[in-house]
C-alpha cells in the first residue's frame, strides 16, 4: 500500500508538540510492515536550516488563487528508515520566524498558507505518484480531504482516492472569514452548516470531518469525549454524525528514543530487571535543579509540560501551599502562557526548599526528569493522547494523572495498590491532592512501590499495535471507495 502523509509538523524538522512525533514515528512503523510512505511538510525557515540544499524534485507546481497563481517547488528531503520526505517550498508563505503565529497572534494569511499546502500536495502526487490513501493531520491539512471531494471531484486519477483525517486536538480548528471560500476557489454551495460553515466562518477542521472517508483521533477515550459539548469545541454534532467512521487509536511511543536501558541523556542506564541505575539518575536530576541533601524517603515529583490551563496548572498552583507541607520536592520544566510562567517562578521563590522551575524547552533535561523522578504529574483538563505518561511508565516513574483522553486509557489505578499509577476524576484541585497523597502513601511501602514501577516498565506502548489499527482503517476506506 502507498500512503501519503500530509502534515504541518514532523520531527525532527518542525515540532511544537505530539503531532510532530506521530508524523515521524508512525510512517517508520508502516514501512517496517511493508508499506510505502511519503511525508509532505512545508519548507519552513526552520526546515531550511536543517536541509539548506534540499534537491528540487519538481521545479514548478502551479497553485491557483482567484486573481493570481502561486508557483511552489517540491524539494527532496531524503529518506529516513525508508520514509520518503518531501518539502513544499513557497518562501513568501513559509519562510517566516515561526510556523503559525507571531506573539501578537496568528498569521492573517494562514488560510492561504495551508490551503496552498493541501493543493500543492495533491498536485505534486499527481506527478510523483498518486497514493492508495492520503493521511491528513489536524486543520492545517484537513482541506486536502475537502479539495479531493470538490475541486478535484472530476479528476479521474483522484476520484477514487480516499483520505483519512487524524484529529490530534479538536481545540484547534482553523476558522476563517466566509470570503476564504473564494480565496481557495471552493464552491459557495459548500458554505453550509452541514459542510464547511461553523459560526459564520469557514472551518478547516469541520470540512475535514465532513469530507474525509474516515476520522481517527489519538485515544479511544478522546474519540468518545469529542462527541460531547465539553470536549467537541462546537464540532460535537458533526462528529456524532460521523461516529460510524470515527476511530480512537492510541498513539505509540518511540522506544528507540525513550528507554532508560539505552538513553544517552541520563546519568545511568537501568531496566525493570536492574533498577539500581535509577537512584543515580535521581541524584543527577536533583543536582541539575540545584537540590542538595534530599533523602531517599522524600518523593521527587517531576513535570514536563506546556505551562497552560489545559495542562491543569491552575490545579497545581491551587494546592501548592499544602503540597509543600508533604515530604516531596517538585521539579518543573516547560514554557507556555506567560501568566503561568510568572506564577510558577513566584511559587519557586516562595518554596525554594521544595519547588524548582526552569522556563524553557530542553530535551536533555526532559529525559533527566523522566528518569530521575519518582512520580510524574499530569493533571490535564483534557489530554487527547498524551506521551509523557507513557514515557514515565517505561522509566519506572509512576504517573499521577487526571482521568481524561489518553491518560484514562493508559493509566490504571487499583484500590489494592495494583495497577501502574494514580488518577483522579474530579474537575478540581482537591481530587488532585488526594491522588498525590495516595501515591505518597504507596511510596512509603518500598515493596509495593517497586512492584508498581516494574508493572509500568514492562508494558508495551510501541507503534506496532497502533500502526496495525491504522492499516485496517486504510484498507476499509480503500475498499469503500473502490
Q: Are 323 and 219 in a shared domain?
A: no
Same domain, 69 and 51: yes
Note the pLDDT tens digit of each residue in 346-356: 999 999 999 99
- Whether 269 is covered by a domain: the verdict is no
- The pLDDT value given to residue 450: 95
pLDDT confidence of 454, banded at 50, 70, 90? very high
Q: pLDDT value at position 466?
A: 96
247, β-bridge pairs: 216
pLDDT tens per residue, range 14-64: 988 788 889 999 999 999 999 999 999 999 999 999 999 999 999 999 999
Domain shared by 213 and 126, yes or no? yes
* Statement to judge: residues 69 and 210 lie in one domain: yes
Looking at the fold, whether 212 and 73 belong to one and the same domain comes out as yes
> Is residue 127 over pLDDT 90?
yes
The pLDDT score that the predictor gives to residue 55 is: 96
Residue 256: predicted pLDDT: 86
Is residue 166, in this structure, part of any structural domain at all?
yes
Q: Is residue 16 part of a domain?
A: yes
Is the pLDDT at 416 greater than 80? The verdict is no
* Cell numbers placing 49: 536550516
In a domain, 33, yes or no: yes
Amino acid 310: pLDDT: 86
Q: Is the pLDDT of residue 361 over 90?
A: no
Assign 380 to helix, strand or coil.
coil
Q: How many structural domains compose the chain?
A: 2
The answer as to whether 390 is a domain residue is yes
**CATH code at position 159:** 3.40.50.2000
- pLDDT of residue 404 exceeding 90, the answer is yes
Same domain, 376 and 474: no
User: What is the C-alpha to C-alpha distance for residues 333 and 445, in angstroms, rounded to an integer?
Assistant: 28
Residues 417 and 303 in one domain: yes
Q: Is residue 330 part of a domain?
A: yes
> Per-residue pLDDT for 157 more than 80?
yes
pLDDT confidence tier of residue 342, bands split at 50, 70 and 90: very high
Q: Which residues of 301-330 are buried (b: 16+ CB within 10 A; e: fewer)?
A: bbbbbebbebbbbbbbebbbeebbebebbb
> Do the domain assignments include residue 404?
yes
What average pLDDT does range 304-310 have in this prediction?
88
Do 450 and 313 sit in the same domain of this protein? yes
Q: What is the pLDDT of residues 86-96, one digit of tens each?
A: 999 999 999 99
For residue 428, pLDDT over 90 is answered with: no
Out of 60-74, 227-241, 415-429, which region has the weakest mean confidence (pLDDT)?
Answer: 415-429
Q: Does 267 fall in a domain?
A: no
Residue 357 lies in domain: 277-457
Residue 234 sits in the same domain as residue 301:
no
d(CA 264, CA 255): 13
Same domain, 185 and 306: no
The angle formed by the CA atoms of residues 143, 144 and 147, to the nearest 5 degrees, is 85
How does pLDDT run across 62-109, given as a tens digit for each residue? 999 999 999 999 999 999 999 999 999 999 999 998 899 887 888 999
> Does 424 lie in the same domain as 345?
yes
User: Does 118 share its domain with 160?
Assistant: yes
Amino acid at each position: 500500500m502507498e500512503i501519503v502523509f500530509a502534515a504541518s509538523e514532523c520531527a525532527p524538522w518542525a515540532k511544537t508538540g505530539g503531532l510532530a512525533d506521530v508524523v515521524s514515528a508512525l510512517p517508520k512503523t508502516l514501512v517496517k510492515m511493508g508499506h510505502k510512505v511519503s511525508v509532505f511538510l512545508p519548507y519552513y525557515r526552520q526546515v531550511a536550516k536543517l536541509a539548506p540544499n534540499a534537491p528540487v524534485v519538481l521545479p514548478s507546481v502551479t497553485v491557483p488563487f482567484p486573481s493570481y497563481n502561486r508557483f511552489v517547488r517540491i524539494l527532496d528531503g531524503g529518506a529516513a528508515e525508508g520514509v520518503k520526505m518531501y518539502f513544499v517550498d513557497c518562501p513568501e508563505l513559509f519562510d517566516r520566524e515561526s510556523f503559525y503565529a507571531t506573539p501578537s497572534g496568528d498569521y492573517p494569511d494562514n488560510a492561504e498558507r495551508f490551503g496552498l499546502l493541501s493543493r500543492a500536495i495533491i498536485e505534486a502526487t499527481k506527478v510523483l505518484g498518486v497514493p492508495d490513501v492520503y493521511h491528513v493531520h489536524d486543520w492545517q491539512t484537513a482541506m486536502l480531504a475537502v479539495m479531493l471531494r470538490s475541486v478535484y471531484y472530476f479528476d479521474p486519477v483522484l476520484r477514487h482516492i480516499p483520505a483519512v483525517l487524524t484529529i490530534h486536538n479538536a481545540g484547534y480548528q482553523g476558522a476563517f472569514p466566509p470570503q476564504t471560500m473564494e480565496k481557495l476557489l471552493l464552491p459557495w454551495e459548500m458554505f453550509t452548516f452541514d459542510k464547511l460553515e461553523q459560526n459564520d466562518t469557514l472551518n478547516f477542521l469541520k470540512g475535514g470531518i465532513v469530507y474525509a472517508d474516515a476520522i481517527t483521533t489519538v485515544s479511544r477515550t478522546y474519540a468518545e469525549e469529542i462527541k460531547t459539548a465539553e470536549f467537541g469545541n462546537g464540532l460535537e454534532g458533526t462528529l456524532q454524525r460521523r461516529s460510524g467512521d470515527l476511530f480512537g487509536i492510541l498513539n505509540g511511543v518511540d522506544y528507540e528514543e525513550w528507554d532508560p536501558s539505552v538513553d544517552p541523556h541520563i546519568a545511568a542506564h537501568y531496566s525493570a530487571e536492574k533498577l539500581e541505575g535509577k537512584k543515580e539518575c535521581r541524584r543527577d536530576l536533583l543536582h541539575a535543579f540545584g537540590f542538595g541533601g534530599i533523602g531517599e524517603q522524600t518523593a521527587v515529583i517531576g513535570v514536563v509540560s506546556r505551562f497552560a490551563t489545559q495542562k491543569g496548572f491552575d490545579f497545581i498552583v491551587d494546592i501548592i501551599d499544602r503540597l509543600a507541607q508533604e515530604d516531596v520536592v517538585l521539579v518543573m520544566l516547560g514554557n507556555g502562557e506567560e501568566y503561568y510562567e510568572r506564577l510558577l517562578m513566584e511559587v519557586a521563590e516562595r518554596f525554594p526548599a521544595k519547588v524548582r522551575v526552569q522556563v524553557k524547552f530542553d530535551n536533555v533535561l526532559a529525559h533527566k526528569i523522566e528518569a530521575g523522578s519518582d512520580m510524574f504529574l499530569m493533571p490535564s483538563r483534557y489530554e487527547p493522547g498524551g506521551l509523557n505518561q507513557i514515557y514515565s511508565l517505561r522509566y519506572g516513574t509512576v504517573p499521577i494523572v487526571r482521568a481524561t483522553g489518553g491518560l484514562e486509557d493508559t493509566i490504571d489505578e487499583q484500590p489494592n495498590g495494583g495497577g501502574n499509577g494514580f488518577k483522579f476524576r474530579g474537575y478540581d484541585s482537591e481530587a488532585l491532592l488526594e491522588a498525590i497523597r495516595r501515591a505518597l502513601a504507596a511510596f512509603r511501602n518500598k515493596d509495593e512501590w517497586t512492584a508498581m514501577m516494574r508493572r509500568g516498565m514492562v508494558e508495551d506502548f510501541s507503534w506496532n499495535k497502533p500502526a496495525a489499527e491504522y492499516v485496517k482503517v486504510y484498507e476499509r476506506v480503500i475498499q469503500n471507495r473502490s
